[in-house]
Amino acid sequence: MPNKRWIIHRRPTRPVRVRALDADTGQSYAAFDRTHAAARPAIYHCVSRVVDKRFVFGDREKDKFVEYMRMYESFAGIRVLAHCVMSNHFHLMLEITPFPDEGIPDDELLNRLSAIYDEATVGAVEMELKAARCAIAEGRADESRANEIRERYLYRMHDLSEFMKSLVQRFTQWYNRCNGRKGNLWEDNFRSIIVEPGAAARLVAAYIDLNPVRAGIVADPAEYRWCSYGEAHSGKQHHTRSPSPVAQQAREGLVRAFFAHQGGGPDAGRWMDCHAIYRPWIEETMARIRALRSGNATRKHDPGGGASPGQALAGRIRHFTDGVAVGGSGFVNDLFHENRRRFGPKRTTGARPIRGNASAVARSQGICTLRDLQKNIGE
């Protein structure tokens, strides 16, 4: 579908909004909702760029962004599986966990609020809730009084759009205050694709972590502390059984990214299992990038070869940022049929082959995309 940019938001237990935006105006021309079961995690790769692609992220800004990211991760109840903050954009791989069936009790709500609000604000909410609960117990009010207080905050939890909105707004406020500026800091709405757990999630996580290597900033992502792999290697002690809190969070996210399809939770204790798969990909990619820069390899795509991850991850893979959805053919076709009326009558299947430098590894691992990308598909 030419001249249109697709964004899919999929929530595990809530309606899913799918909208197509006109690439020229950025205006939504249609939208619809579907309800999906929580049979599998909803994982997204999200990207946002600074306005005019200005390089505004120095070390201090990157540190602050990661700090806010972790704060809102705790507040929203989502999981950051992988991340990378660059000089003018960021990548996040997020798992949007379902809202608990039993709801969120008051004590947990207050604990989550403490992640992003000061003690006085949380204390005021606590007093307000206690007064409402007392009035309910005495028959002077019904449950709606407490619910009104809780809903001020609950609507922002377990929600992709609200998480991204809160994160970028908080960072923008801090950045503007520090630099005496006003206005929006971001180029446009964030882009997102939905990622199937398993082979696709593993490759996308590696693609995110390898951004600073492809950009020539570092030789090894372990040396870049603003990506998940670099955080997981905090202090270069990746074999230790007692990692720092920063390293532990990063390891939990990557372990979940690598083993969610097997039912694996965010268990930092499985880091070495994850690392045994991950590190060879990274070393192969680093070697490929060195060969390209020394002139000992060519970027020309060879359709018949290079089925290893490192060959693909050395270059840009547009399907991982603009492909709407990536995963196995069954996963992509399910999304297509759920959203059937968004496509023309001649299209009968959703799964499309990934083209360009990632085509061979995508074929070997059974990864497809929902969107055809005919131009600039790999470089």
20 lies in the same domain as 148 = no
How confident is the model at residue 114, as a pLDDT? 97
176 assigned to some structural domain: no
How confident is the model at residue 38, as a pLDDT? 41
Domain extent, residue 20, equals 4-100+185-297+304-369
135 lies in the same domain as 279 = no
Q: How confident is the model at residue 15 (pLDDT cuts 50, 70, 90)?
A: very low
Model confidence pLDDT, tens digit, residues 169-181: 999 999 999 999 9
229 assigned to some structural domain: yes
163 assigned to some structural domain: no
Complete DSSP assignment for 80-122: EEEEEE-SSEEEEEEEEPPPPTT---HHHHHHHHTTTS-HHHH
Model confidence pLDDT, tens digit, residues 41-99: 599 999 999 998 899 999 999 999 999 999 999 999 999 999 999 999 999 999 999 88
Task: Give the CATH number, domain containing residue 317.
Answer: 3.30.70.1290
374 assigned to some structural domain: no
How confident is the model at residue 85, as a pLDDT? 98
How confident is the model at residue 264, as a pLDDT? 81
95 lies in the same domain as 116 = no
192 lies in the same domain as 232 = yes
How confident is the model at residue 374, as a pLDDT? 57
251 lies in the same domain as 329 = yes
Q: How confident is the model at residue 23 (pLDDT cuts 50, 70, 90)?
A: very low
How confident is the model at residue 285, as a pLDDT? 94
How confident is the model at residue 171, as a pLDDT? 97
204 lies in the same domain as 331 = yes
268 lies in the same domain as 203 = yes
201 lies in the same domain as 246 = yes
199 lies in the same domain as 330 = yes
| Residue 3 in this model has a pLDDT that exceeds 50 | no
How confident is the model at residue 308, as a pLDDT? 81
342 lies in the same domain as 277 = yes
Complete DSSP assignment for 151-175: HHHHTTSS-HHHHHHHHHHHHHHHH
- The structural domain count of the chain equals 2
Task: Quote the CA–CA distance of 157 and 239 in Å, as a whole number.
Answer: 34
| Residue 21 in this model has a pLDDT that exceeds 90 | no
Model confidence pLDDT, tens digit, residues 313-351: 998 899 999 888 999 999 999 999 888 888 888 888 889
Q: How confident is the model at residue 157 (pLDDT cuts 50, 70, 90)?
A: very high
pTM here is: 0.86
313 assigned to some structural domain: yes
Sheet holding 325-327, edge to edge: 79-85, 89-96, 42-49, 191-195, 325-327, 368-369, 352-353
> What average pLDDT score do residues 248-272 get?
91
**Cα 142 from chain centroid?**
39
Per-chain mean pLDDT for the chain: 84
266 lies in the same domain as 146 = no
202 lies in the same domain as 332 = yes
The phi and psi torsions of 245 (rounded to 5 degrees) equal -55, -35
| Residue 257 in this model has a pLDDT that exceeds 50 | yes
Q: How confident is the model at residue 241 (pLDDT cuts 50, 70, 90)?
A: low
114 assigned to some structural domain: yes
348 assigned to some structural domain: yes
76 assigned to some structural domain: yes
How confident is the model at residue 267, as a pLDDT? 87
Which amino acid is present at 277? I
